[in-house]
Structure 1
């Protein structure tokens, strides 16, 4: 078995609205989606948006209103500090909420947070210890 994460699915209140938000953010929706689900290529990982209640039903768990803090964040790594600002400003202009303004952080990098319209938390970070490849992917040290 080879461990991997190929797809991250977010439960959303309105699939069409979530699709529109992520398209404004710059992701391209795949033709594999439909009125009930949308898929986006996120540079090696597929991001999916699916109805919150339908996702709970699919997993055979009780649907409950999402908590304010879900205990999960998604990360968008930037090439430098200026790009952190640019990404967060763009996300807010697209309809995200600013959660935490970009700033220098204790571990030596630079980060801030926004929440998508459904409250999913995104960290935008420049991490000088995790350089990005030419394809924009993190290159972890061995």
Structure 2
């Protein structure tokens, strides 16, 4: 098996709300949109973010675990500078992200902040020091 990820699929409660957030709010572009079913967005050269209506998701994958607290996954969007981190967090805030955690220096050397999409999925916006940080930049 090749060492890669092709799709990241997230089950969402309200697909139209997610479409508005990602496309209208963040300015991303859909590769495929089937109303009431799925929204697919190219998120890298060979990576697709798939936002799937949770009813359709459960029908194929199985029952979703529900409860209080943060969804146990984060998605990261890395940029080259601290100013870019702040700018992306401002964009997310303007798009309606809630909550948005202001970026700060982390003990491991990076500068990161977080926002939540309409379903509570946390996006980390970061600039990372060293080679690993350069590896993920376009």
Tell me, yes or no, whether TM beats 0.5. yes
Between Structure 1 and Structure 2, which shows a larger proportion of helix residues? 2
RMSD (Å), alpha carbons = 1.7
Q: Displacement, 1:131?
A: 1.3
Report the 3-state secondary structure (helix = DSSP H, G, I; strand = E; otherwise coil) of the residue aligned with 1:70. coil
State the 1:64 CA deviation. 4.2
Structure 1: gaps spanning 5 or more residues: 138-142
Q: CA 1:84–1:95 in 2, change beyond 3 Å: closer, same or farther?
A: same
Q: Which runs of 5+ in 2 are unaligned?
A: none
TM-score by length of 1: 0.85
Q: Give the Cα–Cα distance (whole angstroms) in 2 for the partners of residues 72 and 56 of structure 1.
A: 18
> How many angstroms does 1:43 deviate by?
2.1
TM-score (normalizing by structure 2): 0.88
Contact 1:9–1:49 under 8 Å retained in 2 = yes
Structure 1 residue 95: deviation in Å? 1.2
The Cα of 1:53 is off from its aligned counterpart by 2.6
Q: In structure 2, what is the equivalent of residue 140 of structure 1? A: none
C-alpha spacing 1:46/1:102, structure 2 compared with 1 (3 Å): same
Mapped contact 2:113–2:126 kept (Cα < 8 A): yes
8 Å Cα contact 1:114/1:121 also seen in 2? yes
Could you list the structure 1 runs, at least 4 aligned residues long, displaced by more than 4 angstroms after superposition: none
Higher share of residues assigned strand:
2
Cα shift at 1:56:
2.0
Please name the residue that 2:134 is paired with: 131
